[in-house]
């Protein structure tokens, strides 16, 4: 059966304000009676949530970068079959909190595995389920950190992780540049209302609403 619904993904660095936008969009779609499904990666189904627990557990610190990347890809395949595909076939709007671009940015750029390897192990998603629209909330890790902890904080641990997050951020910006038809970049330094207005107008312009 043909897929008739639209597939929308939200991407950005940790702390970029994605969750706030997803909540605002959920309220909007409910109030407008738009048939939709919200889901997230990693996770979004029984098996993929179990993989999420393995991935995000502090007990698995010795996991190799390659294993991490493969688990994200495995969880994605299952999630596509369990949640995304059925909803798209029913003609629903599917909104996913993170997707394959997170793997390209976090594992490809952040961990340094490269986009070629990440592209290969995610070929199923990239070839069969490319999002119609990807909303990228563009907020640098420094700005997200200041927003969370205040401008004067100087947390050593968080700063050590900053190089990784900066690579992830550069990765997202490169992906957005390479996929201008699919990506919509929204300046994350604006107020939540301003950002949401741009999310809505982008989704309308792209024929999703």
Contacts with ligand TYD, residue ranges (CB under 6 A): 14, 19, 41-42, 56, 72, 97-98, 102-103, 106-107
Q: Which is closer to ligand TYD, CB of 34 or CB of 56? A: 56
What is the nearest approach in angstroms of ligand TYD to the Cβ of residue 199?
A: 16
What is the nearest approach in angstroms of ligand TYD to the Cβ of residue 144?
A: 10
Residue for token pair 């557990």: 57
- Please tell me what DSSP assigns to residue 171: H
Q: Which is closer to ligand TYD, CB of 117 or CB of 209? A: 117
C-alpha distances in angstroms, 186 versus 61, 120, 146, 196? 33, 28, 19, 9
What is the nearest approach in angstroms of ligand TYD to the Cβ of residue 1?
A: 27
Taking CB positions, which residue lies at the least distance from ligand TYD? 106
**Contacts of residue 209, Cβ cutoff 8 Å, sequence gap at least 6:** 32, 34, 93, 200, 203
Pairing of strands 133-138, 36-40: unpaired
Comparing C-alpha atoms, which of 131, 118, 110 is closest to residue 73?
118
Q: Which is closer to ligand TYD, CB of 86 or CB of 161? A: 161
Query: Tokens in use for 78?
Result: 């299952």
**Contacts of residue 155, Cβ cutoff 8 Å, sequence gap at least 6:** 149
What is the nearest approach in angstroms of ligand TYD to the Cβ of residue 75?
A: 8
Q: Which is closer to ligand TYD, CB of 41 or CB of 85? A: 41
Q: Which is closer to ligand TYD, CB of 97 or CB of 132? A: 97
Q: What angle do CA 99, 17, 77 make, to 5 degrees?
A: 10
What is the nearest approach in angstroms of ligand TYD to the Cβ of residue 103?
A: 3
């Amino acid at each position: 059966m043909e897929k008739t619904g639209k597939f929308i993904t939200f991407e950005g660095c940790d702390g970029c304000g994605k969750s706030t936008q997803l909540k605002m969009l959920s309220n909007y779609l409910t109030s407008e009676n738009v048939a939709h499904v919200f889901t997230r990666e990693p996770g979004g189904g029984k098996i993929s949530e179990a993989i999420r627990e393995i991935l995000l557990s502090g007990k698995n610190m010795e996991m190799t970068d390659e294993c991490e990347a493969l688990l994200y890809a495995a969880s994605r395949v299952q999630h596509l079959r369990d949640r995304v595909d059925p909803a798209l076939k029913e003609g629903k709007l599917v909104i996913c909190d993170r997707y394959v671009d997170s793997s390209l940015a976090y594992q490809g750029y952040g961990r340094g595995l490269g986009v070629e390897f990440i592209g290969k192990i995610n070929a199923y998603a990239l070839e069969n389920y490319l999002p119609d629209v990807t909303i990228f909330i563009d907020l640098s890790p420094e700005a997200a950190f200041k927003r969370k902890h205040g401008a004067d904080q100087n947390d050593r641990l968080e700063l050590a992780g900053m190089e990784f997050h900066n690579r992830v951020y550069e990765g997202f910006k490169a992906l957005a540049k390479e996929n201008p038809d699919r990506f919509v970049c929204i300046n994350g330094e604006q107020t939540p209302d301003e950002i949401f207005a741009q999310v809505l107008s982008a989704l309308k312009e792209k024929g999703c609403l």
